[in-house]
Structure formats: C-alpha cells, structure tokens
Structure 1
Amino acid sequence: MKIKLKSPLDMHLHLREGEMLKLVAPLTAQTFAGAIIMPNLVPPVDNLPRLLAYREEILAATAGEVFEPYMTLFFRNYTREELEAAREHITAIKLYPAGITTNSEGGVKELADAEATLALMEELGIPLLVHGETNGFVMDREREFLSVYEQIATKFPRLKIVMEHITTAHAVDLLDRFENLHATVTAHHLIITLDDVAGGMLNPHLFCKPIAKRPTDRDALLAAALRAHPKLSLGTDSAPHPQHKKECCGCAAGVFTAPITLALMADLFAKHDALDKLQAFVSGNAQQIYGVTPPEKIVTLRDTAMTIPASYGDVIPMWAGKQLGWSVVG
C-alpha cells in the first residue's frame, strides 16, 4: 500500500546552527515542504538582521530541496517599528517563560511585562507561539500553565495563540473553549508515556520538555490527532543534541525525530485505520491555522518495513535500531 502526502509541514522544529544545522536541516527538508523554525539560539533570534542571516544559513544547508523555513522571533518587548519591519519576514513570535527549557533564560518573567507587545501583535496579526509550562512539579507544569493561556486568550481575543507541543488531556479540552487557541503536538507525545522514559532503564533519548505524561494524556492527544482536530497540527519539536550531551549527567532535553517523523505517523495512523486523516494533520490544518501556502511537494510512503538508523552523525534518533512498518519511498 502507498500513500502520497502533499506538502507536509512541521510546525515546530529546532535546527541549531553551524555544523549541527548542516547535519539536521537536510534531514527535514528531504521529507517536509516547510517548517516553523525555533528562535532559542545563543544569542536568541530576537532582531531582524539576526533572523535574516539565520534564514540564509538554513537555505544554504537545504539547497537542492523544496523547503520553506518559516521564521520566528524570540519574544521580547518589541517596538511597533520593529514589528512592522519584521512582519513580512516572520510567521510568528515564540514566547518562552524564563528558564523553562533549553536556551530560554532570556524569556518572559512576568506576563504583565509582555502585554504591550502582545497588544501590538494582535493589532498587526502576528501569531503567538508559547512554550506553556510553569516551574512547578514536572508532571503538572503544563496543566498549571493553562490558566495563563485562558488569561491571554480572553484579554487578546483577536490574537492567534498556539499552545506548543501539548502533552495533556487538559490542553486538548482547552482547545475547544477559546476560538483563538490552537495547538501543535509532537510525534513522540502521540506514542510514548513517562514509562517509556523512566519506567525501566532510563532512556535519555526520550527525555524532553515538556516531559511525556500519563497514558490517559497520550490517548487524548492521539484521539485528537487521529480525527485531525482542525485546531491541531503536527509540530515535531525535533531537537538534536550530540550523543555526549544526551548520555550524561545533566541530560539535555530533546527528542530527535526529524528524519523518521512521516514514517512514524504513517505507521501510527495506519494502525488506527486513520490514514485518511493524515494529510490534514501533517499539512492541511497548519495551512489554515497559520495562513501559509507551502511550496508544492509530494512525499510518498509505503507499508514496507524500515529499520531506524542507529545514528545520524553524532545524533541518536528516537527508537534507534527499531523497525517501523512504513517507510518513505526514494
């Protein structure tokens, strides 16, 4: 059996810089027509010259592939002039609570301090992407942050808000309560639970933030994805780290799925008799939510087994060495 996906999109992607970018960017560009690029570099992508230079670096690394990098700015207090100048070059602005994840030390400390910029974004039609976690108990961080989403969605009803990489049933429920709330979900959060990360021997290559949650949460996310909930789209949060930064004390947070995501999703949706919903989940919904028109690209997958490589350079993918029931053709 074969399926064809039209212009698949990854609405949450980490590419890093330098040699790491040169390694991982082509692995996404081979199977995706475009991706939203995260700005939490060092220093962050928080001004237009930095953003334009980063985009050129991505385009150079993906030369020869049909691929559009949808750029984002790191949230800070921007002036109207800065946002007006940047608007045609960005797809969204990404808000990180200060210190909550990798390279987020310069994030927002108090929501009140962000409201002037949020008002400008609402006026100018610039979407807000949010890493929604508190500093509370690790299993409760996303649930505790949901009240912040409610606060922003109520105060700025015309601001398009995307809850990034949701991991809980509570977040799925919140999607239908506010017209301006949307969400992305990762491939790995549709498959794993905390048991896979730490239920037996610790698996550092499945450790991420937000951390994988309970089976009931995973099942709620999966049910929403399998029916292609119109406010939900694929955002892999694929986050490469060299092996020595994962297999160590102080393990870096991030799951690397970029080169295997579409095969993973075809395998998962096929097992649940939902292949007819995969196109919307990996492209159609995102086009509607973000108002983007990706370049034309057809990716063909077939139900032929593939073995996930042990590594890509010095980066270990999710489920390295395991077999999937589907693979990308060509």
Structure 2
Amino acid sequence: MKTLTIIKPDDWHLHLREGLVLKNIIHFTSEFFGRAIVMPNTKTPIKSVERAISYKKSIVEALPESSKFEPLMTMYLTDDTDKEELINGFNNNIFFAAKLYPANGTTNSSHGVKKIENLYKIFELMQDSGMPLLIHGEVTDSDVDVFDREEVFIDRELFPIVKRFPKLKIVLEHITTAYAVDFVQENNIGATITPHHLHINRNAMFFGGLNSDFYCLPVAKREKNRIALRKAATSGKECFFLGTDSAPHLRKWKAFCGCAGIFNSPVAIASYLKAFEEENALENFEKFASLNGPNFYNVPINKEKLKLVSRSNKILEFIDVVEEKNIVGQIKPFHAGETLQWQVEGIVN
C-alpha cells in the first residue's frame, strides 16, 4: 500500500454558501485544509467590511470544535466599489483579496462589473497596497461562443490589465484552456486549477442527454485543454496551485434548474491525487497543493501534515443536508458512485 505525506494544503478558491448548506459542508474543507479563500458571491454579495465580518462569523461558528481552519475573506468588486472600504478592509486584515466577476458571468454575479475599465483606479490602489486581484476570466457577450469566453477575456480584458498594472498580484481563477495556461506562464500571474477540470472535458455534459452534474462555469472545454491543464497542474511550476472552486447546489436546484457548479470538497484531495498519479507526478503534488499557493500569496506554509494512503475509496452518491437530525436535502458530489484509489489517513503533527 502506497503512502504519501505532504504539508497540509490550502484551498485558494472555495464556495461555502450560507445557512444550512454552509453548516453541512464546511467540515469537508476544514478537516484537511489549513485555509481557504472564500468567494464573496453569496446571495447578498460581500461588498463591505461589515458584511465580510458577519459572513466570516457565520463560517467560524459553523466549524467543528477545536478546528484550526482559517477562512480568508474577499470583497466583491462592482462598478461603484468604495475605494476606502476596499483598502481599509485589506489593511485591517478583513479582506484577503478582491474578486472580479464580469456581470452575469456565473452564480450570483448580477452585481458584477459591467465595464472593467471603470475599475482601473481600484486596480491602481490594489497594486500600490499589495492586495491580490482574483478574476473570473470570462466575457459574457451573447455573441461570443461559451467555449471561447475565457480566451476572449484574456485578449480583450486581462492582457491590458497585466500590461497597465505590472506589479498587481493577479490570479486567473479556475483556468480551463491551454491558452490560459500559456498566458499565465508568460505573464507572471497565478492560476488556480480545479479537480474537475483535470478529469472531464465538455463531452461530460452530454453523456446520456444533458447532464447538469458536470455543468460549471467556466464550462469544461475540449480534450486538448484538459490535457494542457493536467500538464500545468502536475508540472510543479509555482504559478499553478490548488483551488477547488467547489460549489454546492441542493439536488432539487442542480438537477432540475441546471445551476452551474460542481461540489468536489468531499473528494478534492483524492481526485487531484488520481490525476497526479495518472500523470506519474505524485512527487509534485505537495508543490501544487501546499507550497505554490502560500508562496504566491506570501503567507506562511502550514505546519501540520497530511498522511495520504492508496486505498479503495468508494464515493457516496449523495451527501445529506441535515437539520436537527432530519434530512432536508441532498447534494451530489463529484465522482459520485465511483471508486477512487486515494484517501486521507489523517493529520500528522
């Protein structure tokens, strides 16, 4: 039986939702990750210091007792973001970063930015203060093919930002294309890569008819892009790091309304390990999961370690959402019903 011991990882892109869903899913991340950047696209967006403090409080209260997990809060950028609120929040360690959503680009993004040039003064302040900018990199024009939106965004929006603000710390989130892989490497920015984009291509959405279980934004792309993402993630290169983009939806919404998002927190580490093992790159997993992110963000590396074991790991078909011991809903995890070959044995001090 193979084993692997790594420094405890972090999740640099996570959706925790709110209320009952938050309370039921937080332990999947807090048990085996040291920190996570929490996305601000809640139903009421996190646009103020007050709202961020309140949301963080609800996360901390939902954590298991004695948990050392640290949620890192982000500010939701809009066309009229308050400069003082942004910088004061960052300087007082309330906001870890700011998140750019193009308007109507994904879940709860109707408050997002309609014209990115309107934020150039904000970007200048962020560059001067060292505040990271996290980007959902897609255009939303109706005349741009959904499979081309990432590439068009890079050319139209991201390239000018990178050139105009060369010292701005930028992360292109959940990249999905070979084009993005190349751009990240060539322009001294960071990128998160999800577990699901390492395993599925766009065909997954159409097996057996339209399959919302594999619908996420950005959508999975052609097979050649999946291969490029695998090469990037497993390369050990410092610009690529772990970000699950785990995004739970109750089954009644996911199955019948086709909400965008894949819930992978319960299987994230095993899923990543499957890809790394298939690429014969297990020796680079710790860099991707535990080192590259902290080094990019200039934060300390976690002190605890995880012991990972190669052992049959049957994934549940559904995760129950429980309220006062009653099952009130279900969420389908990534790899549902599959048997993975890795699992976490536990924390090693």
Alignment partners' CA distance in 2, 1:80 and 1:98: 19
Residue aligning to 1:281: 288
Deviation of 1:70 after TM superposition, in Å, equals 1.1
Three-state SS of the structure 2 residue aligned to 1:229 is coil
Residue aligning to 2:109: 104
Deviation of 1:176 after TM superposition, in Å, equals 2.3
Three-state SS of the structure 2 residue aligned to 1:145 is helix
Three-state SS of the structure 1 residue aligned to 2:36 is strand
In the alignment, residue 265 of structure 1 is paired with which amino acid?
A: Y
Alignment partners' CA distance in 2, 1:271 and 1:112: 42
Residue aligning to 2:120: 115
> Quick check: 3-12 or 287-296, which moved more?
287-296
Number of residue pairs aligned between Structure 1 and Structure 2: 328
Gaps of 5+ in 2: 321-329
Identical-pair percentage: 38
**Is residue 192 of structure 1 aligned with residue 200 of structure 2?**
yes
Residue aligning to 1:131: 136
1:183–1:232 Cα contact (<8 Å) kept: yes
1:67–1:295 Cα contact (<8 Å) kept: no
Residue aligning to 1:70: 72
Alignment partners' CA distance in 1, 2:202 and 2:185: 26
In the alignment, residue 307 of structure 2 is paired with which amino acid?
A: T
Alignment partners' CA distance in 2, 1:228 and 1:196: 27
1:255–1:317 Cα contact (<8 Å) kept: yes
Alignment partners' CA distance in 1, 2:304 and 2:253: 34
In the alignment, residue 202 of structure 1 is paired with which amino acid?
A: L
Residue aligning to 1:173: 182
Deviation of 1:268 after TM superposition, in Å, equals 1.9
User: TM-score, normalized by length of structure 2?
Assistant: 0.91
1:266–1:301 Cα contact (<8 Å) kept: no
Q: 1:153 to 1:160 in 2, by over 3 A?
A: same
Which of 310, 313, 325 is the equivalent residue of 2:341? 325
> Quick check: 259-268 or 187-196, which moved more?
259-268
Deviation of 1:324 after TM superposition, in Å, equals 0.3
1:8–1:31 Cα contact (<8 Å) kept: yes
In the alignment, residue 321 of structure 1 is paired with which amino acid?
A: G
What does residue range 177-256 of structure 1 map to in structure 2 within 5 Å? 177-179=186-188, 181-248=189-256, 250-256=257-263
After superposition, the C-alpha distances for 1:157-204 in whole angstroms (9 at most, x for unaligned) are 11111101000000001012212x211110000111011121443322
Alignment partners' CA distance in 1, 2:82 and 2:334: 41
Alignment partners' CA distance in 2, 1:24 and 1:311: 12
> Quick check: 73-82 or 227-236, which moved more?
73-82
Deviation of 1:294 after TM superposition, in Å, equals 5.1
Alignment partners' CA distance in 1, 2:310 and 2:209: 31
1:74–1:95 Cα contact (<8 Å) kept: yes
Which of 125, 146, 153 is the equivalent residue of 1:145? 153
Alignment partners' CA distance in 2, 1:211 and 1:217: 12
Three-state SS of the structure 2 residue aligned to 1:329 is strand
User: TM-score, normalized by length of structure 1?
Assistant: 0.96
Residue aligning to 1:95: 100
Alignment partners' CA distance in 2, 1:83 and 1:306: 43
